[in-house]
Amino acid sequence: MRAHIAVLPGDGIGVEVTAWGARVLQHVADAYGHTFRVSEGSIGGNAIDASGSPLPDASLALCKQADAILVGAVGGPKWDVGPPEARPEYGLLRLRKELRLYANLRPVKAIDALVESSPLRREIVEGTDLLVLRELTGGLYFGRPRGRSANKRGIRVKDTLTYTSGEMERIIRLGFDLARQRRKQLASVDKANVLASSGLWREIAEQVAEDYPDVTVEHILVDACAMHLINDPRRFDVLVTENMFGDILSDEASVLAGSLGMLPSASLGRGRRGLYEPVHGTAPDIVGQDKANPLAAILSVAMLLRHSLGLEQEAAAVESAVEDVLAAGLRTPDLARGASGERAVGTEAMGEAVLERIG
Ligand code: IPM
Ligand code: MG
């Protein structure tokens, strides 16, 4: 197979981990006889420094031409000034919006070898296997009007939470479809006791449920969901929710996987083209120290192979290579718990070890 992949490393450890994502792609290409053309583009703070924009036109054009996009992470204290549109994060938000990538898949699995890496007890996390399905192009992140105004009495700020029924229905439907491919349980997460938007969300979820009699659906309030996630995570299979709730719940859920450094994500739209990125951020405190965990980026590459290129066997090979290195005891600092049998490694040694085990 031939494919064109855009790689946008972004800022901080995003640069370090996407380098490993790109190496894994190349290795898979060599091992399985594919040709992947990789083109690099800029996004985020580095793009602001180089060209004044967090998503330069050239990067957007590159992503529109590519079959799939691998992103690192964006942001950092250096760029935490000015209005939202001038910040690194806006580059990523605009890219999601421009490419209409409305569905964000964040699988959270408690890999057996890492159960002790979670701050939660083994009997709680063991066996966790859930998918957070987050709506990605609506809600508070994009609603207008927004901004601030001032008068004699002080400053007033405004964000707007808006959704159309169509935007809600397509993500909820995808939640049911994905649940059908898994354990057939869907948790629809809302705040229907308070928000008008959530009221409609719940109505639509109830309507769509009629088309999926084989899927068990539960409606759950987001605050209760946050509690159940760390109290009894095994009760969840697929969770579907709006943009902001999904952002928060997916970081929380990462604790179940041992570390935020383990979580990959896929952002999909109607076609095959998708954007793949680790859920973690740029971690400015450990940049350039060979400490970043490259596994979330590598697992994002596995999702890319599966969802955009349809290469299931290759995706599974990458995932099992990751499980193998963890079973062998390799631990980047975010995963280390000082237990016997652990081998402390850095980004480079972890990446090399995964490469050795693929194909
Ligand atoms: C994420 C991140 C982003 C988001 C930021 C960087 C804009 O937190 O992908 O979860 O809030 O969506
Ligand atoms: Mg987030």
Atom of ligand 1 nearest to the CA of 93: 7
Reported as a single tens digit per residue, the pLDDT across 215-232 is: 999 999 999 999 999 999
Kindly list the catalytic residues.
141, 191, 223, 247, 251
Reported as a single tens digit per residue, the pLDDT across 277-316 is: 999 999 999 999 999 999 999 999 999 999 999 999 999 9
Atom of ligand 1 nearest to the CA of 250: 10
pLDDT for the residue 37 = 98
pLDDT higher than 80, residue 56? yes
CB burial of 29-60 (b: ≥16 within 10 Å; e: otherwise) equals: beeeebebebeebbbbbbbbeeeebbbbeebb
Residue 118's pLDDT band (cuts 50, 70, 90): confident
Q: Average pLDDT for residues 239-255, to the nearest whole number?
A: 96
| Pocket lining: 263 vs ligand 1, CB cutoff 6 Å | no
pLDDT higher than 90, residue 87? yes
| Pocket lining: 92 vs ligand 1, CB cutoff 6 Å | yes
Dist CA 355 CA 352 (whole Å): 5
pLDDT for the residue 359 = 76
| Pocket lining: 11 vs ligand 1, CB cutoff 6 Å | no
Q: Which of 247, 279, 280, 300 to mutate to test the pocket of ligand 1 (most atoms within 8 A of CB)?
A: 247
Reported as a single tens digit per residue, the pLDDT across 145-187 is: 999 999 999 999 999 999 999 999 999 999 999 999 999 999 9
Reported as a single tens digit per residue, the pLDDT across 261-288 is: 999 999 999 999 999 999 999 999 999 9
Residue 64's pLDDT band (cuts 50, 70, 90): very high
What is this structure's pTM? 0.96
pLDDT for the residue 340 = 87
pLDDT for the residue 116 = 86
Contact between residue 11 and residue 74 where contact means Cβ atoms under 8 Å apart: yes
Dist CA 6 CA 2 (whole Å): 13
Ligand 2 centroid, distance to 13 Cα (angstroms): 16
The tokens describing 82, both together, are 């000015």
Phi, psi of 151 (to 5 degrees): -140, -170
Q: Which of 8, 74, 89 to mutate to test the pocket of ligand 1 (most atoms within 8 A of CB)?
A: 89
The tokens describing 319, both together, are 């995932």
Atom of ligand 1 nearest to the CA of 89: 7
pLDDT for the residue 337 = 87
| Pocket lining: 247 vs ligand 1, CB cutoff 6 Å | yes
pLDDT for the residue 45 = 98
Q: Average pLDDT for residues 127-139, to the nearest whole number?
A: 98
Q: Take atom 3 of ligand 1 and give the residue whose Cα is closest.
A: 89
Q: Take atom 11 of ligand 1 and give the residue whose Cα is closest.
A: 247
Dist CA 322 CA 316 (whole Å): 10
Point out which residues pair with 217 in neighbouring strands. 186
pLDDT for the residue 249 = 97
Q: Take atom 4 of ligand 1 and give the residue whose Cα is closest.
A: 247
pLDDT higher than 80, residue 69? yes
